[in-house]
Structure 1
């Protein structure tokens, strides 16, 4: 394999249609490193940017990518063109507020067993 095949050009598409990148990453780069890159390079003028890696979801070829996966493992033979740029979508999901947490706790199903 050549060095070019061990690297992937990736641009990150934000929900407003703007992009971060493209930037070249080795195939061994973890998805968690990609998320760190997104957080670090998030445009300062955009509101609702991620504050931590935990708030970032990266989607490629319709799949949410797991932190412990590598870029090489996530390649799609149908979508990735050699020498081309792969677009990965970025979704920011802020952690729930205290009010939302309480609401979620109240909505949880509770099961009660009655022994007669």
Structure 2
């Protein structure tokens, strides 16, 4: 029985010793994989940052376009209001001229008879 226990204990020591040497052998590969993963993460972060900046630029451009459109609409409505006012003034002047002409014609006709 003691031989069996001694064999098991020796096997455990041998396994732990082998596991330690195997870990040291794979460490450079693990470091390379970690470095590669870090580079991939940096690249992904750069892509995400670029996408976020692009979205911000698009949002800013849309805001500027909306502002310019509102400004243009305000300017157009102002010109339209001025045109209506000018048309109303011209109509009033024409009506006043017509009334004055009618009054003058009526007065002149009445005086000549």
TM bracket (short chain) = under 0.3
Larger Rg: 2
Higher helix share: 2
**Greater RCO structure (CA 8 Å; 6+ sep):** 1
- In the superposition, the TM-score normalised over structure 1's length comes to 0.20
Relative to the length of structure 2, the TM-score reads 0.20
Greater fraction strand: 1
